[in-house]
Homo-oligomer: A and B are copies of this chain.
Amino acid sequence: MNAPTYDPSLFTGLSAFPLTPLKDEAIDEDAFIGLIERLVLAGVDSITALGSTGSYAYLNLDERARVSEVAVESALDIPVFIGVGALRTRDVLDNVASAESAGAQGLLLAPVSYQPLTEDEVFALFRTVAESTDLPVVVYDNPGTTHFTFTTELYSRLAGLDGVASIKIPGAPASPAGWDERIGEIRAAIGSEVTIGISGDAHGAEGLIAGCDAWYTAVGGTIPEPMLEITRAAELGNAQLARELSAELQPLWDLFTEFGGSLRVTAAIAEHLGLVGADTLPLPVRDLDAAAKRKVAEVADNLDLG
C-alpha cells in the first residue's frame, strides 16, 4: 500500500474533543450535534470525535459508527478525526472501517489495555492499523487512561510507519525550559514530518510555546473560544499573551486537579451551559455531585466561559 497522502497542516492548530453526551444510556444525538455546531461556529481547526472526552471506550461498535457519521455530517468543512481505539485489535479495525465510511479525515488511536502491553505489541497494533487504511493516524499517548507508557524510542519507531501523522503527547507540569527540552527530544526522535500535539489542557499554552504543532484539547470541545485565543497567540509567536490567557484560566485548571481530571468537570460545564443534560456520562462514570457542580458553575460564570 502506498503511503497515505494528506495535507500535513491537518494535524496542526486546535483540535477540539467534544463530549459524546448520553441520555438514558443512549447517544443524545441532538446534544452532540449542538456541540459540533458550536465548534464549527467557533472556527476550530479540526474536531476529534470519540476521544477520551467523547467516551469512545464505553460505546459499542454501532454507537461509534453512528457518532462518526453524525460528527462528519455536522462538521461541514471542518476536518473530523475519529478515535478508533479498543481493547481488541479486531474491534479497532471495525472502528477504522466505520470511520472511513463516515468520511473521517484522520484516526486517533490509543493502545487501550487491560493486560499490560509490551512495546512490540503496541507497535504491531499501530502497524496493523496503518496497513489497513489510507487515513492518517494520530498516536494517542494517554497513560492516565490507557495505562501504557510510551518511550521516546517507541515514538520514533511509530513515526517511521507510513500513515502515522501526529503524536498526541500527555501534558505534565514542567518549566518552560523543561518543555523546550522535552519537545526538542521528541522532535529529534520523530523527525519533521510528524506533528506533535499537546494534550492535558492546563499545559496547552506551554506545549504550543515550546513547539507543539497542535493542541488536542478536551475542554476546548465544549468551550472552544478561550482555547482558540491561546492557540492563536502561540501561533503568532506571542508567548507572553498565550501564557497570560492560560493563567487567567487557572481556576478552571484547578478544577481538573480537584475533581480527578477534565471529563467530569467538562460535562458539568456543558450541563451548566445548557448544552447537555445531567447524567450525560456512561455509567459507572458518574456526574460530579451537586456541591462540586455548583463550584464548577461558579468558576464557569466568573471566567465567563461559554
Give the interface SS of chain A, mostly helix, strand, loop or mixed: loop
Q: Say whether, besides A52-B114, A57-B114, A114-B58, A88 and B283 are in contact (CB < 8 Å).
A: yes
Select from chain B the residue with minimum beta-carbon distance to A59: B88
Are A90 and B125 in contact (CB-based, < 8 A)? Answer: no
Q: Say whether, besides A90-B25, A116-B260, A284 and B111 are in contact (CB < 8 Å).
A: yes
A132 within 8 A of B: no
Are B90 and A283 in contact (CB-based, < 8 A)? Answer: yes
Are A145 and B261 in contact (CB-based, < 8 A)? Answer: no
Interface string of A88-128 (1 = CB under 8 A from B): 11110000000000000000000110111110111011001
A76 within 8 A of B: no
Q: How far, in Å, is A190 (CB) from chain B's closest CB?
A: 22
Are A144 and B124 in contact (CB-based, < 8 A)? Answer: no
Q: How far, in Å, is A25 (CB) from chain B's closest CB?
A: 6
Are A58 and B144 in contact (CB-based, < 8 A)? Answer: no
Which of B88, B260, B284 contacts A124, CB < 8 Å? B284
Are A260 and B57 in contact (CB-based, < 8 A)? Answer: no
Are A115 and B285 in contact (CB-based, < 8 A)? Answer: yes
On chain B, the residues within 8 Å of A120 by CB distance are 286
Are A87 and B115 in contact (CB-based, < 8 A)? Answer: no
Q: How far is the CA of A128 from the CA of B283 in the complex (A)?
A: 10
On chain B, the residues within 8 Å of A121 by CB distance are 284-286
On chain B, the residues within 8 Å of A59 by CB distance are 88
On chain B, the residues within 8 Å of A286 by CB distance are 118, 120-121, 124
On chain B, the residues within 8 Å of A91 by CB distance are 60
On chain B, the residues within 8 Å of A124 by CB distance are 283-284, 286
On chain B, the residues within 8 Å of A283 by CB distance are 88-90, 124-125, 128
Given contacts A88-B284, A115-B263, 4 further A-B contacts (CB under 8 A): A52-B114, A57-B87, A90-B283, A121-B284
25 contacts between A and B (CB under 8 A): A52-B114, A57-B87, A57-B114, A58-B87, A88-B282, A88-B284, A89-B284, A90-B282, A90-B283, A111-B284, A114-B145, A115-B261, A115-B263, A115-B285, A116-B260, A116-B261, A118-B286, A120-B286, A121-B284, A121-B285, A122-B284, A125-B283, A125-B284, A128-B283, A147-B147
